[in-house]
Amino acid sequence: MDIKALREERAKWMNWKNIAPMRKALEALPVLDTTVGLGPTVTLQSKDSSPDMQQLEAAAKMMMPWRKGPFELFGLFIDTEWKSDIKYDLLRPYFDLKGKRVADIGCNNGYYLFRMQEDDPALLVGFDPSALYKTQFDLIDRFAKTKIVYELFGVEHLPFYEEKFDTIFCLGVLYHRSDPVAMLKSLYKGLDKQGEVILDTFMIDGEDEICLTPAGSYSKIPNIYFVPTVKALKNWCLRAGFKGFEVLEIMATTAHEQRKTAWMEGQSLEDFLDPDDSSKTVEGYPAPKRIYVKLIKE
Ligand SMILES: C[S@@+](CC[C@H](N)C(=O)[O-])C[C@H]1O[C@@H](n2cnc3c(N)ncnc32)[C@H](O)[C@@H]1O
């Protein structure tokens, strides 16, 4: 696969008729001298002059829905659907990125990548084949001016990428893939020797090596293919070639972490669960619960 040609091809996505007006609004914003705060809220503060806040808010609103965050842009708080700081803080004790080549596959608008700068990694690359989320990233990065590389690629392109990585994050992507073992193999191939993957996915309870295969949607999400038990997930990872499989955390998603906000007006977790029994989805499946694992290449 010619990754350079794919990059050039996908750059044209920015001209799509739904994306082009956002790009225009983004490019009309001033480039300011900015300080970036990397706490639970990724915060931009002006060193001298501030942007026109109406213009900034209008540009950010055009880019809705904002799912991952939160961000604060010169006092404008983007209250995203997900409080992604909860996942980041949960995983924080399990990685040290100093001097490492790091990828976040399925990085959305780059929230975790912005936060990972705190470790001073050698390289930070995000993959996400979404023109909208790349545009949200570019809005923040217009001011933050980071060295993060955002690629409009999917996990399936990782084996062909110019770089190999020491640590790959792949969070909230596996259940969207119709061939999860193939996806895990792509992650394996994206690693350098002794590399590691930090991954999360939905799981079901049980001692058997089985998985739930939703008939249509799961938790109203249409593209969820397989929801494994811990043992089934381990088997997938070993079959993909990984030598190490370590369970880091298991946690149910709560309405504190995922909820409707002014920046994401569609349905959210509260609409996805059975109103009479929050241990079940509206389809009658077990409510979303996530497993966080670390996979070791060799
Ligand atoms: C459920 S979100 C997870 C976002 C983030 N990683 C997190 O855990 O909060 C799934 C993300 O995967 C992205 N995505 C879609 N197709 C993909 C693919 N083929 N490879 C990698 N990511 C993909 C979506 O655009 C979306 O940002």
Question: What pLDDT is recorded for position 180?
Answer: 98
Specify the higher pLDDT residue, 108 or 278: 108
Q: How many domains does the chain have?
A: 1
Q: Which residues lie closer than 8 Å to 89 by C-beta, 6 or more apart? A: 40
| 49: confidence class by pLDDT, cuts 50, 70, 90 | confident
How far, in Å, from the CA of 154 to the mean position of ligand 1? 8
CB 101 within 8 A of CB 190: no
How far, in Å, from the CA of 68 to the mean position of ligand 1? 11
How far apart CA 174 and CA 225 sit, in angstroms, is: 9
Q: Which atom of ligand 1 is nearest to the CA of 169?
A: 6
**For the chain, percent of residues with pLDDT exceeding 90:** 91
Atom 13 (ligand 1) nearest CA? 106
The reported pTM is 0.97
- Pairing state between β 101-105 and 71-73: unpaired
| Burial class (CB within 10 angstroms; exposed 0-12, middle 13-18, buried 19+) of 166 | buried
Virtual torsion, Cα 4, 9, 15, 16, nearest 10 deg: -130
Mean pLDDT of 26-43: 94
Q: What is the CATH number of the domain that holds 57?
A: 3.40.50.150
Query: pLDDT, tens digit, for every residue of 74-126?
Result: 999 999 999 999 999 999 999 999 999 999 999 999 999 999 999 999 999 99
Which of 6, 91, 128, 202 to mutate for ligand 1's pocket (most ligand atoms within 8 Å of CB)?
128
Single-letter amino acid code for the residue at 194: Q
Planar angle of CA 230, 160, 246, nearest 5 degrees: 20
How far, in Å, from the CA of 32 to the mean position of ligand 1? 30
Mean pLDDT of 128-156: 98
How far apart CA 234 and CA 228 sit, in angstroms, is: 9
Question: What pLDDT is recorded for position 18?
Answer: 97
How far, in Å, from the CA of 176 to the mean position of ligand 1? 8
Atom 20 (ligand 1) nearest CA? 154
Establish whether the linkage from the previous residue to 40 is cis, with ω within 30° of 0: no
Question: What pLDDT is recorded for position 267?
Answer: 86
Q: Structural domain of residue 271, as residue ranges?
A: 3-296
